[in-house]
Amino acid sequence: MKSFAFVFPGQGSQAVGMLDAWGDHPAVAATVKEASDALGEDVGRLIKEGPKETLALTTNTQPVMLVAGVAAWRAWLAEDGAQPSVVAGHSLGEYSALVASGVLTLADAAPLVRFRAQAMQEAVPVGTGAMAAILGLDAQKVVDGCAEAARSFGTNSGEVVEAVNFNDPVQTVIAGSKAAVEKACEVLKANGAKRALPLPVSAPFHSSLMKPAAERLQRQLAATAFAAPRIPVVNNIEAKVESDPDRIRAALYQQAFGPVRWVDCVRAIAAMGASAIVECGPGKVLAGMTKRIAPELTSAAMYDPATLAEVKGVLA
């Protein structure tokens, strides 16, 4: 069997009914029940019925995406899927990866992720922050364009815009205060970006404006039990593997207000010897990124019984 990695998607891949194709798979049902018990609400009903607007609320999206990723992971194991040599997750997906690796229990991760979502939402008033995807421009040019846009407001203006998700070589997400993000979009298009697309999000995730949320999260992380990983986890903030629970906590704290270095994560996974990367959970967003970052790797997505069987074939 090929050496392979599992990677877990984050916010944005959610959809009403995203677990329906699993039917009454015991591992999926048990995962939903465990999370529902931990959160004190019916997570399965929220995923199955939505509505879309409720599912899209950050405080709901983060726990349901955790549940969906872990459910797919447990279904994989229940169907005698082999253990990956390394795991990682994009933004919120890092928490799913930590559950898969045994660092966190789902019962601890679900309320932790909900707390993270609430802290992020409360850190910046709705409507004052923004995010945008910049397409067709080298990442360093995006970083430079953000700095140019921020300078245009003058010293001590309080306007912030930063590159926060390095998703693939020519797709970088920026975030910050609304006016600064809009200015950066203008600058970056003038500097050669093919497109600058505002994202329908409720907060400027991974920007320095999230520092107050990170401070609150840090206290919650300290109060949560972490174990040493059974499977190496490549973290977002440095694209490194950490085995010490305190260093893993520190990486999650920094990730809340620091960039997701996904290009570096995929390259680190490749450097560790993986020849295939499988997206575990709803959607195919990360699988597409893998193809653009490291086309030499086999890329696949596993989100229902049919794709589970396909992935087994790909990895054989």
- Residues recognised as catalytic: 91, 206
Question: Got the DSSP string for 66-116?
Answer: HHHHHHHHHHHHHTTPPPPSEEEESTTHHHHHHHHTTSS-HHHHHHHHHHH
8 Å CB contact between 246 and 268: no
Sheet containing strand 195-198, edge to edge, reads 161-168, 171-177, 129-135, 195-198
Burial of 26 (0-12, 13-18, 19+ CB in 10 A): exposed
For residues 106 and 99, the answer to whether their CB atoms sit within 8 Å is yes
- Whether the CB-CB separation of 124 and 209 falls below 8 Å is answered with yes
Nearest to 163 by CA among 184, 183, 178, 179: 184
The b-or-e profile of 77-103 (16+ CB within 10 A means b, else e) is eeeebeebbbbbbbbbbbbbbbbbbeb
3-state secondary structure 204-237: CCCCHHHHHHHHHHHHHHHCCCCCCCCCCEECCC
Two tokens at 58?
């950050």
First to last CA, the chain: 5
